[in-house]
A = this chain, B = another copy of it.
Amino acid sequence: MSSGTRHPDPTRRSERSRQAVLRAARELIAEVGYAKLSIEGIAARAGVGKQTIYRWWRSKGAVVLDAILALSQGADGIALPDTGDIEADLKAVMRATVAEFADPAFEAPIRALNMEIAIDPELAAQYREKLAGPVDEAKKERLRAAQRAGQLAADADLDLALELLYAPVYQRWLLRTAPLTPEYADALVDHLLKALRP
């Protein structure tokens, strides 16, 4: 079927339904919370049948993952700032990260997704493949540049380095053990750089 006929384009209609489902999921998380979010509710809000949703997604967690991915426009083209000063660049990134986790609009769907990931290993694998993996690779690319510049030890374990930076933020946020402040972001960078000094 060529475009320009009177018949609707099924691909385009599918994509419209898909976007309606993702938008409905985001709206309902904000309105009723993740616990009360249901496939039925998403279908009703999006104006599609339940079976349409189950054709594309295996669980509400999978819908929420894609809803969040659509917001962040995927992980393509991610790059960390590189002014040549690893300390300044990491502090800028970590201050932004901490601010993001302190923002209720951002944190509610991410908290919901983390709960699902913790109990659903298959969703966890999708999350790593689609989002966490590419983002971590971009971060490590910035750390590698710092290694080449002699600012970090050449044999530093970069996966562990990312954990030392981000896991404390993640734990404070998830368990609400202490406030997430710009000073805390800076302190994490200072400790990392001391631990990874050449």
Contacts and interface: CB of A to CB of B under 8 A. Distances in A.
A160 B164 contact: no
A178 interface: yes
Number of copies: 2
A82 to B, nearest CB: 24
Contacts of A35: 119
Contacts of A192: 195
Contacts of A16: none
Interface residues of A, number: 36
Contacts of A70: none
Given A171-B171, A191-B195, A195-B191, A114 B118 contact: yes
Given A168-B163, A192-B195, A124 B178 contact: no
A159 interface: yes
A50 interface: no
B118 A174 contact: yes
Nearest to A172: B163
Residue from A157, A176, A177 with most neighbouring chain B CB atoms (10 Å): A177
Given A167-B167, A170-B171, A176 B111 contact: no
